[in-house]
Amino acid sequence: MSGYNEGLSKYTIIRKIGEGNFGIVAQANDKHNGETVAIKFLKDRCRLSEDCIEMRELKALVALDHPNIIKLKEIIQEGEFLRLVFEYMDMSLCQRIRERTRFFSEEKIRGYCFQILNGVDYMHSRGYFHRDLKPANILVSGKLVKIADLGSSRVCLEVEDDLDCTRECLSDQPSYTSNITTLWYRAPEVLVKSSKYGSAIDMWAMGAIMAEFFLLEPLFCGTDDVNQLHKICSIIGSPFSWYKGLQEAEAHNIQLPVCLRTPLQVLIPSASRDAIELMESLLSWDPNDRPTAAEALRHPFFKPCFEAQHPLDLELRLTTAMTFPSTNGEVNRVLI
């Protein structure tokens, strides 16, 4: 990654490709080598480089280096404003899903989810959780998937095993704002206004994203926090055994309806038994009942990703060794 002394003069701006509260994103070409990049023009003023590096997104991008997390190539400072230069990806996962005229094959869904979870697992293992995981914040180029928009990410301060925040104790977590994560992918603990939550909120979002792959539309389409909770209850049933969540809801005068669950197999009849089982575990009311990203990757749904004959392109096979339990009870360690 280049430093702050590089300027925009080396790039030719092609077109605006995105806009948000942060500013705009433009597609550009490097005049020297012809490489296509994406430049994020931040609208917030930043007077000193030392102040800028405190920005959440910059801190996360500098700390995280993984094939399934968007790469920050260069930081450019123009006066009081920052421009962040990223590798270019064709489109967001949201666009990819919306443009589909027929359903994804389960094999393709597996490949996408496998990559997203690898990125999430890496983030969590480095002490970060995303907090706003959704299709619009996941980028796609061909078969390659990368997690982006880390502006909402946070560091787990009280964690086990040094930086590993995959098994954090929620009671020991610092208080975080509850108004994060786009509504349709927002975890129940956030919806009931809990100020203490952890990386399990990313796993809930992953379950919602996985279901959306199959349905080509969001699974829970609420209009506000309370309505979103009602939508969740209508599908996965009321949280009768999630006592902490029920206490939080009562403390904030949130009344949850009494509903029986609608089996996901009924809503998503095309999904395999393994896929349904994984989605149901990810979409557990109690965050302690959701698998970690590492556990999800070892679910039988992903077993084909670890088999040599599986047609994942070689460039997509991550260079990290992972374990998968074999049918004879032994643990196989493979390099994918």
Do 97 and 245 sit in the same domain of this protein? yes
**Residue-level pLDDT at 155:** 63
**Residue-level pLDDT at 159:** 40
Active site residues: 132
**Model confidence pLDDT, tens digit, residues 255-301:** 999 999 999 999 999 999 999 999 999 999 999 999 999 999 999 99
Say how many domains are in the chain. Answer: 2
Do 144 and 225 sit in the same domain of this protein? yes
User: Where would I find the H helices in the chain?
Assistant: 49-52, 56-63, 93-98, 106-125, 188-191, 200-215, 225-236, 243-251, 264-267, 273-282, 293-297
Output the six-digit token pair for 323.
């374990």
Do 131 and 72 sit in the same domain of this protein? no
Domain assignment present for residue 70? The answer is yes
Domain assignment present for residue 38? The answer is yes
Contact 223, 203 (CB under 8 A): no
pTM: 0.82
Of 46 and 145, the structure prediction assigns the larger pLDDT to 145
Instruction: Select from 51, 66, 87 the last residue of a domain.
Output: 87
Do 145 and 56 sit in the same domain of this protein? no
Q: Per the annotation, where are the binding residues? A: 40
Instruction: Select from 56, 87, 118 the last residue of a domain.
Output: 87
Q: Pick the closest to residue 128 from 155, 146, 148 (CA basis).
A: 155
Do 33 and 161 sit in the same domain of this protein? no
| pLDDT band of 129, cuts 50, 70, 90 | confident
Domain assignment present for residue 3? The answer is no
Alpha carbon distance 129, 202 (integer Å): 7
Q: Is it the case that residue 308 has pLDDT exceeding 90?
A: no
Find the angle CA(30)-CA(36)-CA(37) to the nearest 5 degrees: 90
Domain assignment present for residue 331? The answer is no
Do 98 and 49 sit in the same domain of this protein? no
Do 173 and 223 sit in the same domain of this protein? yes
Instruction: Select from 68, 87, 106 the last residue of a domain.
Output: 87
Do 244 and 265 sit in the same domain of this protein? yes
Q: Per the annotation, where are the binding residues for ATP? A: 40
Do 140 and 102 sit in the same domain of this protein? yes
Alpha carbon distance 30, 12 (integer Å): 7
Q: What is the mean pLDDT of residues 77-96?
A: 91
Q: Is it the case that residue 193 has pLDDT exceeding 90?
A: no
- Which residues constitute the domain of residue 129? 91-306
- Residues 6+ away with beta carbon under 8 Å from 30: 10, 11, 36, 37
Of 332 and 44, the structure prediction assigns the larger pLDDT to 44
